[in-house]
Structure 1
Amino acid sequence: MELVDTKEAVGHVLCHDITQIVRGKTKDAVFRKGHIVREEDIPVLLSLGKEHLYVWEQEEGMLHENEAADILREIAQGKFMTATKPKEGKIELIAERDGLLKVDTERLNQINGLGEMMVATLPSGLVVKKGDKLCGTRVIPLVIEKEKMDHARSMIGEEPLLELLPLKQVKYSVITTGSEVFKGRIQDTFTPVLIDKMSEYGCELMEHKILDDNHQEITTTIQEMLKNGAEMILCTGGMSVDPDDKTPLAIKNTGAQIVSYGAPVLPGAMFLLAYTKTRTPILGLPGCVMYAKRTIFDLVLPLLLAEIPVTKEWIADLGNGGLCRNCEVCHFPNCGFWKGV
């Protein structure tokens, strides 16, 4: 720090907050630490009784916190993100569109492990809206070695830490199976739930078929829907291990690759995910999707719409936190049931 005459302080950077106290009215900082003194600030500072100021003593090889924060911003910022102006070594990134936030957590941890700097993000895999805050970057000290910031930049490389992936508004088809629905003994209450969930993401229902428990007919219908251009197929009913539950066999017989039949999630254990050779997802949805607030379907769907490959390993990892607490007031995804990528 360096003590300078206030009248000579233009262009210098304040090392501490300068507070104004007016009894009964205000007690707040008029100038914040890191503020660069301007000509018009001088009368205000003098009116506050500040004849001298502690300012940052510029040294070769050192960066002011705002300059360093901009380097962190550059490291973190992907496309479709707006940066706020630097303030006290802090810059925030704001979403320019709806999408799924993906964070390179390995490289994020490397940055945060260096010390004297930090990047705090929303969880990777979270669906965000335009205008949402995605992350904040901050440099801890008022000044930091340029060499340290250069090291951080070189360590991370060219690719940004954050991506904002678009959610594809797919055209999907639904197959409802079960003799009880096919023969009109009960009403199909499953499909309206799926339409509501898919419409949240702007997806359009192409085709809906109600079939008996005949695995050959289910297989043929899936193949026809794929030929008709379905970008996702949702199958309901027939997902348990009862002898007359034929949906898993029907999906397998289409030639699609089964990623997982079963998931360590409650509700949602009897879930099936498969991909065709052209990477079109086919889902076998358990009955809980029809009546539970949140299920395995809510965890997987955003990744599929963002075209992030859902793997067997990712599904296996859902077990830690995979038990929904079925709270009276649902706060999903702001809870332990939600999983990112």
Structure 2
Amino acid sequence: MIFGDMTPDEAEGAILAHSQKAGSETFKKGRVLSRADIAALKEAGVSHIVAARLEETDVPEDEAAAALASALAGKSIRAAAPFTGRANLVAEEAGVLEIDAERILAINMIGEALTVATLATFETVDERQMLATVKVIPFAVPRADLDKALEVARLGPAPIAVQRFEPHRVGLVATQLPSTKESVLDKSRAVLDDRLGAMGSRIARELRVPHTAHAVADAVRALAKEGLSPILVFGASATVDRRDVVPAGIVQAGGDILHFGMPVDPGNLLLLARLGETPVVGLPGCARSPKLNGFDWVLARLLAGLEVTPKDIMAMGLGGLLKEIPTRPQPREGASAAASSPRIAALILAAGRSSRMNGPNKLLLPLGGKPMVAHVAEAVRASSASPVTVVTGNAESEVRAALSEFDASFVHNPDYAEGLSTSLRAGLAALPDDVDGVLV
């Protein structure tokens, strides 16, 4: 790719590297300059521009991004149409994201032009969620580099795939001590119902039994005979050893303890076992809470049909610190409840002159039967941002009328003609002192 300073006569067919004003018109970065564009530049007195000209060995940015994204996209993933050198990969179904990290790294090591950014492997993802993006940094990629990247991407199954959640009929064993309250078991069951429901599964049968190895063994065997899988065991007291009540009961039932403990906090005391082909999980106490914990990671993989091995459990330590622990300083401890829910205000900047529209105020133009600025206000109202402040300037009375039904305060910017920064300054000055942030 040839890149650098050019005269307009040299730039026909080249790609504009930076936005350039030509009289009353502004040519945006990335524009392929036509003969008419060259004439307009010359007429405006532009003598030099910075542009790029592709060579035969170059692949244009959108074409390269689309090709690599398509090669990376595996099961239940859609490669979206490219734009400005970017192509996104989007989940077509909810599930667990699988990524061949070595191949993604290999592609990113090929050269500067091609980049691939992804979510973390084994992350739980929703339908239509963006999973990865391919971005071409310059305006083109050397064909040799693209060919290398495509070769890596096509070396085996696609490097990025979603293993979708499959509906499971799950078995639950809850043990009880004489002091165990039914309300505690009910709440634990409700939290588990929500977890499973979010992934398309449900508890088909729950057995509440005494907290003894023999009772656990009978219950696990009974649920396995009914074909329920996985089987989850809530112990009335935490499992602290492989020979404790819950693991001992699984072994009495004929099962095998695969791994006890995990390098994830919260979630350290998870137990992974198997009875025949049926996964059995001894739940850590934190699974009674809806907050993210290590059990969530194991459950998601199981419901997506992925095997979970002891090695998988031990590998969860990287990124496995999900909360602060008592043995290190906790600067946020003792903060007020309000600190966990910051107060975020909203500023709607509606003072501009719409000079690029050459006449009408774009915020007052009708869109879907209402002024465009009303759509902005509706989006803000649908959020939790509060308070909402509208900065007016040009066409102040018309803007106020367009937003008359919205609960917002107004501040006028008399210096609106001097640019957006003056409206931002006026809006920020009007905010209450107790807001923690502002959405503009």
| Shorter-normalised TM range | 0.7 to 0.9
Matches within 5 A, 1:145-224: 145-158=142-155, 159-180=157-178, 187-188=184-185, 189-224=187-222
Q: 1:15 to 1:215 in 2, by over 3 A?
A: same
**Contact residue 15 and residue 142 of structure 1 kept, 8 A:** no
Q: 1:270 to 1:148 in 2, by over 3 A?
A: closer
Q: 1:100 to 1:258 in 2, by over 3 A?
A: same
Q: 1:96 aligns with which of 89, 92, 95?
A: 92
Q: 1:202 to 1:151 in 2, by over 3 A?
A: closer
CA–CA separation in structure 1 for the residues paired with 2:101 and 2:127: 22
Structure 1 position 316, deviation (Å):
1.9
Stretches of structure 2 lacking an aligned partner (at least 5 in a row):
325-331, 342-440
Q: 1:172 to 1:263 in 2, by over 3 A?
A: same
**Contact residue 120 and residue 136 of structure 1 kept, 8 A:** yes
> Aligned AA for 1:60?
E
Q: 1:239 to 1:44 in 2, by over 3 A?
A: farther
CA–CA separation in structure 1 for the residues paired with 2:252 and 2:23: 78
**Contact residue 191 and residue 290 of structure 2 kept, 8 A:** no
Structure 1 position 110, deviation (Å):
0.4
Structure 1 position 176, deviation (Å):
0.9
Structure 1 position 48, deviation (Å):
6.8
Q: 1:321 to 1:54 in 2, by over 3 A?
A: closer
Structure 1 position 120, deviation (Å):
0.6
Residue 141 of structure 1: aligned partner: 138
CA–CA separation in structure 2 for the residues paired with 1:95 and 1:214: 44
TM-score when scaled to structure 2?
Answer: 0.63
> Aligned AA for 2:271?
L
The reply to whether residue 16 of structure 1 matches residue 17 of structure 2 is yes
Structure 1 position 220, deviation (Å):
2.2
CA–CA separation in structure 2 for the residues paired with 1:144 and 1:218: 61
The C-alpha deviation readout for 1:127-172, integer Å capped at 9, x for no partner, is 2222222111122232332122112222332432210110122111
- Bigger shift: 238-247 or 223-232? 238-247
State the SS of the aligned residue for 2:15. Answer: coil
- Bigger shift: 280-289 or 242-251? 242-251
Residue 128 of structure 1: aligned partner: 125
> Aligned AA for 1:311?
T
Q: 1:227 aligns with which of 225, 231, 234?
A: 225
Structure 1 position 38, deviation (Å):
7.0
Residue 79 of structure 1: aligned partner: 75
CA–CA separation in structure 1 for the residues paired with 2:182 and 2:133: 56
The reply to whether residue 119 of structure 1 matches residue 116 of structure 2 is yes
Structure 1 position 204, deviation (Å):
1.4
CA–CA separation in structure 1 for the residues paired with 2:42 and 2:242: 87
CA–CA separation in structure 1 for the residues paired with 2:48 and 2:183: 83
Structure 1 position 46, deviation (Å):
8.1
Structure 1 position 21, deviation (Å):
8.7
Q: 1:42 to 1:81 in 2, by over 3 A?
A: farther
CA–CA separation in structure 2 for the residues paired with 1:194 and 1:73: 37
Structure 1 position 213, deviation (Å):
2.7
Residue 292 of structure 2: aligned partner: 294
Matches within 5 A, 1:54-69: 56-69=52-65
Q: 1:244 to 1:14 in 2, by over 3 A?
A: closer
CA–CA separation in structure 2 for the residues paired with 1:210 and 1:268: 23
Q: 1:232 to 1:45 in 2, by over 3 A?
A: farther
State the SS of the aligned residue for 2:132. Answer: strand
Q: 1:161 to 1:318 in 2, by over 3 A?
A: closer
**Contact residue 75 and residue 163 of structure 2 kept, 8 A:** no
State the SS of the aligned residue for 2:104. Answer: helix
TM-score when scaled to structure 1?
Answer: 0.79
Let me know the Cα RMSD of the aligned residues.
3.6
CA–CA separation in structure 2 for the residues paired with 1:315 and 1:295: 13
Residue 249 of structure 1: aligned partner: 248
CA–CA separation in structure 1 for the residues paired with 2:71 and 2:242: 55
CA–CA separation in structure 1 for the residues paired with 2:35 and 2:279: 63
Matches within 5 A, 1:16-55: 16-20=17-21, 30-33=27-30, 35-36=31-32
Q: 1:57 to 1:265 in 2, by over 3 A?
A: closer
Q: Look at both structures and tell me which one has the larger radius of gyration over its CA atoms.
A: 2
Q: 1:305 aligns with which of 303, 313, 316?
A: 303
Stretches of structure 1 lacking an aligned partner (at least 5 in a row):
331-341
**Contact residue 181 and residue 210 of structure 1 kept, 8 A:** no
Give the number of the structure with larger relative contact order, counting CA–CA contacts within 8 Å between residues 6 or more apart.
Answer: 1
Residue 240 of structure 1: aligned partner: 239
